[in-house]
Chain A
Amino acid sequence: MKITRKDVEYVAALAHLELTAEETERMRQQLDSILGYIEKLNELDTAGVEPMAQVLAPTVSGQADTRANPSLRKDATRAGLERTEALAVAPETDGAFFKVPKVIEK
């Protein structure tokens, strides 16, 4: 594993993270070491194994039970957060919307 400074800068840009020069170098070393450790996953043969994104927990009896994860609800409207409450915790608003710095540069 060899993570370069360029890799770190590229990933930091993807993650919208400003890093100082010192942070970038430390991050390079640490990511290199952690990813080196993670390489050990390649010792395992996972051919034919289905990737598991989420545990679909079976019940006590050991039988998978779809009731345990009813991810669908009725498509009905219900009250959400009041706009004033949502805006109250924002750094900058105009009373109706979140305000942000200029998006398009001319």
Chain B
Amino acid sequence: MDVATLTIEKVQELLRGRAVTARELAEQHLARIEARNRELGAFLSLCPERALAQAEGIDRKISAGELLPPLAGVPVAIKDVIVTRGVPTTAGSRILENYRPPYDATAVARLEQAGAVILGKTNCDEFAMGSSTENSGYFPCRNPADLERVPGGSSGGSAAAVADGLAVAALGSDTGGSIRQPAGFCGIVGLMGTYGRVSRYGLIAFASSLDHIGPLTRTVRDAAVMLGVIAGRDPNDSTSADVPVPDYAAALERPVRGLKLGVPKEYFGAGLDAEVRAQVEKGIARLGELGCEVREVSLPHTDFAIACYYIIATAEASSNLARYDGVRYALRAPEAETLEAMYHRTRGRGFGAEVKRRIMLGTYALSAGYYEAYYLKAQKVRALLYRDFVEAFQQVDAIVTPTSPTPAFKLGEKTDDPLEMYLADIYTVTGDLAGVPGLSVPCGKTKAGLPVGLQLFTRHFDEARLLQLAHAFEEAGGFAL
């Protein structure tokens, strides 16, 4: 058995056929993590006791001949911005070093109820702020396809873990592209549902009007199964939507013939790497061969998305991160004499450079005299970006684009220029701002062997069609183009 190619379906088959026990599967994954993590940097911490206890519970169910839940015995990894009761949760930040949350995120609880075996917590950019996982407060993570290169970010550890066979599936979070971009860079599937589709209870908040939790997997079917488990209304998250959760896996086989696909011309302009363009064009042609009607559409405000995003996301972050004050959690600068000095010193010492930069930018944008010029202006531009999508979806059923303008870049390549790093998210932030669901699927590789991602968007709450299209693409050999 090659653990690096296991899928949820395969795990279930092996367990039911008694070819392996859930405990063995968990142990094999933990051993592989031990062997690979020094080089890869995908995990920040492991929770073997919790994993083995859960696995043994599944094995007992199997012995008793009980019906197995959909994720029974599936080894999964959780991005470290998602809280896990009693298991270290740092958000990749030194300010939360040694923090052990007193509760589980809803998405985590739902995974375990569905039988998933949680192996540990994955590396990420500090507070999910970054596009390369180089902003981790602990150590960087590397791309399994090329260890000199970044896995993308901020869910880089989750993407690298799934791509390298350290977990069958993982949870990530997406605020500006943090699930889809690393999935694209590492050659796996990354899915962000509609804003409100998945509860964020227990997701360490970055930008609340943009934050999503979603799965990273090896196949579209696995993404469908994972989403089905974690989606749905949660009374603990007032923004979670009370919209029925369809059987996503059952919708996968529906024919895609006749579906209208829009190719937004703004996503194929300057800055798009020639090899990425060629691969994505091949991918679009493949979707055409499947009977989809491909036509050009326009999302005219695309060029303003990054500027809009970096005001809204940082403004919300500056407010959300005010809670790290050295009073209630983890780090406190010990030598401060007054409360005020303790706040300043704890935050100055605990936060890394990118987090400080974003807190500063957000605080500036919200400060007296600048609120209207920056924050309010950005919210108006957000409305225009939203309208772009609504109008495009009057003409087409889905939008298809590259996930990122380039393949994975080298470690250190963009760390000196924050703006350059921000532009790595140029094709993904629009989906977060508009609240539409988005998914990245592998679409072949560059000549150097670096994965290329193809991104699909659909209407709000139309994840079923998103998965259906991606599945048809996968079945037609699109992943290996």
Spell out A's residues near B (CB within 8 Å): 7-8, 11-12, 14-20, 23, 27, 30-31, 33-35, 37-38, 40-44, 46, 49-55, 57-60, 62, 65, 67-71, 73, 81-82, 85-86, 88-92, 98, 100-103, 105
Kindly identify, within residues 362 to 387 of chain B, every residue whose CB is under 8 Å from any CB belonging to chain A.
363-364, 367, 374, 376-384, 386
Q: How far is the CB of A59 from chain B (nearest CB, A)?
A: 5
CB neighbours (8 Å) of B185 from chain A are none
Q: Name the residue of chain B whose CB is nearest to the CB of A39.
A: B307
Give bound CA distance, A86 to B100, whole Å.
Answer: 11
Give bound CA distance, A44 to B381, whole Å.
Answer: 8
Interface status of B341 (Cβ within 8 A of chain A): yes
Interface status of B272 (Cβ within 8 A of chain A): no
Q: Decide: B383 and A41 in contact? CB cutoff 8 A.
A: no
Q: Pick from B8-16, B237-245, B263-271 the stretch touching chain A.
A: B237-245
7 cross-chain CB contacts under 8 A: A15-B318, A20-B348, A34-B310, A57-B241, A60-B460, A68-B243, A103-B339
Q: Could you list 16 further interchain pairs (A-B, Cβ under 8 angstroms) beyond the known A7-B364, A44-B301, A91-B327?
A: A14-B363, A18-B349, A31-B360, A38-B310, A38-B311, A41-B304, A41-B311, A41-B377, A42-B377, A46-B380, A55-B195, A57-B461, A59-B460, A60-B459, A71-B239, A89-B100
Q: Decide: B348 and A18 in contact? CB cutoff 8 A.
A: yes
Interface status of B235 (Cβ within 8 A of chain A): yes
Give bound CA distance, A16 to B363, whole Å.
Answer: 10
Give bound CA distance, A11 to B359, whole Å.
Answer: 9
Total residue contacts A-B, CB cutoff 8 A? 190
Q: Decide: A14 and B367 in contact? CB cutoff 8 A.
A: yes
Give bound CA distance, A70 to B394, whole Å.
Answer: 26
Question: Which of these, A17, A18, A44, A49, contacts B359 with CB under 8 Å?
Answer: A17
Q: Decide: A18 and B345 in contact? CB cutoff 8 A.
A: yes
Give bound CA distance, A18 to B340, whole Å.
Answer: 11
Q: Name the residue of chain B whose CB is nearest to the CB of A8.
A: B360
Q: Name the residue of chain A whose CB is nearest to the CB of B101.
A: A89
Interface status of B201 (Cβ within 8 A of chain A): no
Interface residue tally on B, bucketed by range: 35 or more
Interface flags, B302-322, vs A, CB<8A=1, else 0? 011011101100000010001
Q: How far is the CB of A13 from chain B (nearest CB, A)?
A: 8
Interface status of B427 (Cβ within 8 A of chain A): no
CB neighbours (8 Å) of B39 from chain A are none
Question: Which of these, A17, A33, A68, A101, contacts B337 with CB under 8 Å?
Answer: A101
Q: Name the residue of chain B whose CB is nearest to the CB of A57.
A: B460
Q: Decide: A57 and B364 in contact? CB cutoff 8 A.
A: no
CB neighbours (8 Å) of A55 from chain B are 195-196, 209, 386, 434-435, 460
Kindly identify, within residues 89 to 142 of chain B, every residue whose CB is under 8 Å from any CB belonging to chain A.
99-103
Q: Decide: A18 and B347 in contact? CB cutoff 8 A.
A: yes
Q: Name the residue of chain B whose CB is nearest to the CB of A20.
A: B348
Question: Which of these, A67, A92, A100, contacts B243 with CB under 8 Å?
Answer: A67
Q: How far is the CB of A80 from chain B (nearest CB, A)?
A: 10
Q: Pick from B253-261, B290-298, B328-336 the stretch touching chain A.
A: B328-336
Give bound CA distance, A46 to B101, whole Å.
Answer: 43
Interface flags, B441-481, vs A, CB<8A=1, else 0? 00000000000000000011110000000000000000000
Given contacts A49-B384, A59-B461, contact A15 B363 (CB under 8 A): yes
Q: How far is the CB of A53 from chain B (nearest CB, A)?
A: 6
Q: Decide: A44 and B339 in contact? CB cutoff 8 A.
A: no
CB neighbours (8 Å) of A67 from chain B are 241-243
CB neighbours (8 Å) of A52 from chain B are 379-380, 382-383, 386
Q: Name the residue of chain B whose CB is nearest to the CB of A78.
A: B235
Interface status of B406 (Cβ within 8 A of chain A): no
Interface status of B393 (Cβ within 8 A of chain A): yes
Interface status of B419 (Cβ within 8 A of chain A): yes
List of 7 A-B pairs having minimum Cβ-Cβ separation, nearest first: A55-B435, A18-B348, A51-B379, A91-B332, A46-B380, A52-B383, A18-B344
Interface status of B199 (Cβ within 8 A of chain A): no
Q: Decide: B241 and A69 in contact? CB cutoff 8 A.
A: yes
CB neighbours (8 Å) of B383 from chain A are 49-52
Q: Decide: B351 and A46 in contact? CB cutoff 8 A.
A: no
CB neighbours (8 Å) of B409 from chain A are none
CB neighbours (8 Å) of A65 from chain B are 243
CB neighbours (8 Å) of A102 from chain B are 337-339
Q: Which of A40, A62, A100 has the most CB of B within 10 A?
A: A100
Given contacts A16-B347, A60-B460, A68-B243, contact A90 B328 (CB under 8 A): yes
